[in-house]
Amino acid sequence: MDIQAENLELLRGLIRNRCVNDGTPGSGHEVRNADLLEEYFQGSGAQVQRFEPLPGRVSIAFAVPGSDPSAEPLTLLGHIDVVPVDEDKWIHEPFGAEIVDGVLYGRGALDMLFITAAQATAVREIAIQAQQGNPPRGTVTFVALADEENGGGLGARWIAENHPEAFSWKNCLSEMGGSHLPVRDGSDALVINVGEKGVFQRRLHASGDTGHGSMPYRKHSSILALADAAQRIGSFEPPAAFDHMWARFVEAFHFDPATTAALVAGAADDEAYETFGDLTTFALSFSHNSIALTGLRAGSSVNVIPSHAYLNLDIRALPGDTADSVDAMIRAALGDLSDTIEIERLTHEPPSTSPAEGPLWEAMVDTYGEFFPQASVIPVYAAGGSDLRFGRRMGGIGYGFSLHARGRFLAEVNEELHSHDECIHLEDVDLTLAAYRGVCKRFVY
């Protein structure tokens, strides 16, 4: 079996194992994919470590020691859990790993099992070469992680907190990256994810009078107070927060000079953002903090005036923001209501980013150049979170890295995330495997 067929067979097996993570401790069952990967690596000579914080919630690492202790290590982080599905909304069987007209369908096919399979295949090849007398200079580790889809508490976060020395976090690659931008003059550009926005979840509380529903007169309503707060939050437009990453993204599109200047300077109107086309939403997310209203609750009995109501907010903040600056943004949105609305901090994940420079960056850029020699390479912030943030917190750098065919644009790839009939083109499966083989060869040999 050639290496591409081997990689595709592994990917289909990972999909069929149904490692669905619904956010509860008893879900995931990543042990199935961990066992599949351990079987796949059998006889390769790779060193194996398993991590199991709860029964069935297994992460597994495969390391190929380097010949030079001073050489840079490389760690590939791939998650092996997937999000739930609404099976009645799918045309293709979600865990059948069907191939139709050169496209592989299945939950996790894009997020991120096609990358996980490519990482495993590339590292197994390195392990076999090491057995044959050609070890890498730097240690290479592939880590298949549980629980990424629920924040990593039973996966990357748990390992970082309980076994930080298990493998190197210095240079990490994970999801996504490698899609193209629809450049206006017909030239090409590829993206690499260099960071991710912070997740700051907040709950706003409003208090009021209580009493029987038949006597509402002169009662101060917690619901009306919270409704006013919700309206202000919903209509609030966070100011643009630009940096050099945003400027590089804008300039990659080759818009007319006036549009480019307005976007880079933070003086753009809605019409200027619409020039991004299908990427308008992504561009706004890239350049602004966002506040989503995600839950509202008050009262338990229909005939009782509730004395308390609350509103949930999911806030995504750009690098540079902190918990305090996010709370200040909420107070600015609330205006004169800020003294009467309580802000409760739920969970938060600070933003993280890595530099678009250095040896690993250059290895990725050179690898892309092998396949798309005319393409520029543009750093972007990921639309969602990934396990790379744990590597960055451990003092390392981390990038989202894969590779898609020309014409597979960033907006299209983002739309597939967690979608019905999630899929990946076989061409992109092969390109991503080739890219991982190439970047490993450039960086650790």
**Of residues 321, 336, 340, the one with CA closest to residue 238:** 321
Q: Packing angle between helix 280-287 and helix 244-251, nearest 10 degrees?
A: 160
**Tokens describing residue 142:** 């592939």
| Rounded-to-integer distance, Cα 361 and Cα 173, Å | 10
Task: Please say which residue of 250, 281, 312 terminates a domain.
Answer: 281
Structure confidence by residue, pLDDT tens digits, 15-72? 999 999 999 999 999 999 999 999 999 999 999 999 999 999 999 999 999 999 999 9
Residue 226 included in any domain: yes
Same-domain pairing of 81 and 53: yes
Number of neighbours of residue 405 by Cβ within 10 angstroms: 15
The answer to whether residue 175 sits within a structural domain is yes
- CATH code assigned at 334: 3.30.70.360
Question: Where is the domain boundary, 349, 376, 392?
Answer: 349
Do residues 308 and 207 lie in contact, with contact meaning Cβ atoms separated by under 8 Å?
yes
- Same-domain pairing of 274 and 418: no
Name the domain boundary from 349, 381, 400: 349
For 373-406, how does the pLDDT look when each residue is reduced to its tens digit (9 = 90+)? 999 999 999 877 899 999 999 999 999 999 999 9
Domain count for the chain, please give it: 3
Residue 100 has pLDDT above 90, yes or no: yes
**397 found inside a domain:** yes
pLDDT digits (tens, 9 = 90+) for 287-343: 999 999 999 898 888 887 788 989 999 999 988 889 999 999 999 999 999 999 999
Task: Report the pLDDT value the prediction gives residue 94, as an integer from 0 to 100.
Answer: 95
At residue 374, the pLDDT reads 92
Quick one: pLDDT band at residue 217, thresholds 50, 70, 90?
confident
Q: Would residue 189 count as lying in a domain?
A: no
Query: Alpha-carbon distance 113 to 82, whole Å?
Result: 9
Claim: this prediction has a pTM higher than 0.75: yes
Range of the domain at 331: 198-238+289-349
Shared domain for 271 and 300, answered yes or no, is no
Phi, psi of 304 (to 5 degrees): -120, 130
pLDDT category of residue 240 using cuts at 50, 70 and 90 = confident
Characterize the bridge pairing of strands 189-196 and 211-212: unpaired
Average pLDDT for residues 244-272, to the nearest whole number?
88
Does 256 lie in the same domain as 300?
no
Q: Report yes or no: 41 and 124 within 8 Å, Cβ to Cβ.
A: yes
Residue 412: exposure state from Cβ atoms within 10 A (0-12, 13-18, ≥19)? middle
Establish whether the linkage from the previous residue to 112 is cis, with ω within 30° of 0. yes
Q: How many CB atoms lie within 10 A of CB 344?
A: 11
- Is 89 domain-assigned? yes
Residues 216 and 345 in one domain: yes
- Do residues 207 and 262 both lie within one domain? no
Residue 193 lies in a domain: no
Q: Supply φ then ψ for residue 322, to 5 degrees.
A: -130, 175
Question: Does residue 114 sit in the same domain as residue 211?
Answer: no
Tokens standing for residue 146: 């549980």
The verdict on 165 and 247 lying in the same domain is no
